[in-house]
């Protein structure tokens, strides 16, 4: 089983002081939790101070986006070279980036390649909107996104990638796919597409998160699903107590109850 990975996506929230206060609040409670990976994907402004704040802890640090060029006349963009050494992960292709900022499967693919080239682990987001879901196009849309994102990648590169399946209709809406729905799409669409492209071994080892209104009230049910290897968490990751609860429950369900705890 892949090591479960729970990542908080703070989106456009938290000042530097608020970010540092959050880390200070979660460091102690998270210290006792092993065998589960956890991290924060913070705004660019907070990455440098957070890099120092999480030093010596198991808290991973991630960015929420990046451009694919190393440098140049791209006003307002952040390059992989600027992130290298500051963080471990970078979210690529989040639905909000696709919806509001024109990201496509092609640009997602270019960003993935640039991230990998510079030692950053991508968290690649895929998912369908409500209209596509209701038209029963989930499999077609999600599979196409995975194939587009991973085009021309090698098997050894794909092993280093995390995928987050996030049904767009469940992000920030308070709605969530049922655990069974999420498990089905992750197993029979996302993981199956990776297996078709790169082989079953790669697919079975890949961490595939669920994203979409994960909260303390539903995390146990979601993490009990065998195909879900963690979560990309939005609003519920902004509160320290809530985030610790999500990590703790993920550990209990995926590790402790399975008899794999350290």
Catalytic residue among 88, 94, 96, 128: 94
In a domain, 143, yes or no: yes
Catalytic residue among 96, 103, 128, 166: 166
- Cite the beta strand spans of 75-172 per DSSP E: 89-92, 121-126, 162-165
User: Do the strands 37-41 and 5-9 form a parallel or antiparallel pair, or are they unpaired?
Assistant: parallel
For residue 107, give the CATH number of its domain.
3.20.20.70
Please indicate whether residue 134 or residue 36 has the higher confidence score (pLDDT): 36
Tokens (6 digits) for 9: 């996506």
In a domain, 197, yes or no: yes
Q: Contacts for 68-75 with beta carbons within 8 Å, 24 or more apart?
A: 68/107, 68/110, 68/111, 68/113, 68/114, 69/114, 70/114
Read off the pLDDT of residues 35-75 as tens digits, 9 standing for 90 and up.
Answer: 999 999 999 999 999 999 999 999 999 999 999 999 999 99
What's the angle, vertex CA 200, arms to CA 197 and CA 204, rounded to 5? Answer: 115
Please indicate whether residue 168 or residue 61 has the higher confidence score (pLDDT): 61
Please indicate whether residue 257 or residue 191 has the higher confidence score (pLDDT): 191
How many domains are there within the chain? 1
In a domain, 17, yes or no: yes
- The reported pTM is 0.95
- Picking from 166, 74, 141, the residue whose alpha carbon sits closest to that of residue 111 is 74
3-state SS assignment for residue 104 = coil
In a domain, 257, yes or no: no
In a domain, 175, yes or no: yes
User: Where in the sequence is the domain holding 118, given as residue range(s)?
Assistant: 5-35+44-68+76-248
> How confident is the model at residue 79, as a pLDDT?
98
In a domain, 170, yes or no: yes
> How confident is the model at residue 175, as a pLDDT?
73
> How confident is the model at residue 262, as a pLDDT?
47
In a domain, 30, yes or no: yes
Say if residues 243 and 17 touch (Cβ distance below 8 Å): no
- Picking from 213, 154, 223, the residue whose alpha carbon sits closest to that of residue 186 is 223
Give the largest CA-CA distance in the chain. Answer: 53
For residues 208 and 223, give the distance between their C-alpha atoms in angstroms, rounded to a whole number.
12
> How confident is the model at residue 260, as a pLDDT?
57
For residues 228 and 177, give the distance between their C-alpha atoms in angstroms, rounded to a whole number.
12
Is 162's pLDDT higher than 50?
Answer: yes
Mean pLDDT check: name the lowest of 54-58, 163-167, 168-172.
168-172
> How confident is the model at residue 3, as a pLDDT?
96
Q: Is 166 assigned a catalytic role? A: yes
Read off the pLDDT of residues 26-45 as tens digits, 9 standing for 90 and up.
Answer: 999 999 999 999 999 999 99
Q: Is 51 assigned a catalytic role? A: no
For residues 149 and 21, give the distance between their C-alpha atoms in angstroms, rounded to a whole number.
35
């Amino acid at each position: 089983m892949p090591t479960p990975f729970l990542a908080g996506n703070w989106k456009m929230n938290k000042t530097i002081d608020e970010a540092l206060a959050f880390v200070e609040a979660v460091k102690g409670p998270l210290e006792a939790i092993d065998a589960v990976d956890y991290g924060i994907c913070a705004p660019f402004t907070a990455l440098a101070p957070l890099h120092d704040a999480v030093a010596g802890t198991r808290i991973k640090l991630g960015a929420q986006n990046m451009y694919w060029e190393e440098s140049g006349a791209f006003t307002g963009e952040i390059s992989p070279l600027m992130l290298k050494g500051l963080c471990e992960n970078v979210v690529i292709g989040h639905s909000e980036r696709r919806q509001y900022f024109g990201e496509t499967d092609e640009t997602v693919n270019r960003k993935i390649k640039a991230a990998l080239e510079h030692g950053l682990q991508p968290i690649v987001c895929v998912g369908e909107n409500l209209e596509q879901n209701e038209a029963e196009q989930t499999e077609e849309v999600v599979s196409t996104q995975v194939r587009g994102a991973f085009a021309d990648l090698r098997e050894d590169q794909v092993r280093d990638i995390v995928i987050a399946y996030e049904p767009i209709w469940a992000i920030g809406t308070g709605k969530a796919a049922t655990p069974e729905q999420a498990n089905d799409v992750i197993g029979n669409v996302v993981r199956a597409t990776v297996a078709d492209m790169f082989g079953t071994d790669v697919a079975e080892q890949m961490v595939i998160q669920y994203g979409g209104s994960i909260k303390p009230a539903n995390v146990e049910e979601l993490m009990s699903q065998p195909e879900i290897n963690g979560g990309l968490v939005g609003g519920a990751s902004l509160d320290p107590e809530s985030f610790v609860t999500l990590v703790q429950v993920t550990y209990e369900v995926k590790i402790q109850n399975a008899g794999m705890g350290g």
